[in-house]
Amino acid sequence: MKTYVIAGGCFWCLDAVYRRLKGVTEIVSGYAGGTTANPTYEEVSTGETGHAEVVQITFDESIIPSDVILDLFFLIHDPTTLNRQGADVGTQYRSAMYYVDDAQKRTFEAAKERAQAHWDAPLTTELAQLDVFYPAEAYHQDYFNKNPGNGYCSIVIAPKIVKARAAYTKWFKEA
């Protein structure tokens, strides 16, 4: 099993997409990259803690390659906008990849290099050592599936799932 911690805007979006992939065994929405210990959603939302909204993805590389996990990451968010994804603005919505060792850092650097070929503007995706991962509150976990009638889910998240499924059909679980 491998575990990656990545940030690409609202964690609900990443959670919803990765939860649908074969070989992904666990998704935990949370916070990383900041200075406040045990931050709450309300604190992170101020942009003052330094944390990004992240997902911790655990997957079986014998089922789904790490390159698919990472290339999909660069497909479902805009890594060229600094501290924002659409209407979500602030450092908590930055594009980031948090590595745990030099090997993972090299893997992330290679993914970022591959992704740059698909974007006209320079990528703003931050690469940083993972210090601490804090799980988000329970109501943030699997948010899309638990709140299908929420407007944000239908307007912002659902199109990301459709886009990801179209590009990576073979890696998606049956609908």
Which listed residue (5, 7, 10, 75) is catalytic? Answer: 10
Helix spans in 2-149 (H): 11-18, 41-45, 66-75, 102-116, 143-146
Find out whether 33 and 59 touch, Cβ atoms under 8 Å.
no
85 Cβ contact list (under 8 Å, min separation 6): 8, 9, 10, 13, 77, 78, 93, 95
Give CA–CA dist 29/7, Å, rounded: 10
Find out whether 127 and 112 touch, Cβ atoms under 8 Å.
yes
**Is-catalytic flag, 153?**
no
Residues designated as active site: 10
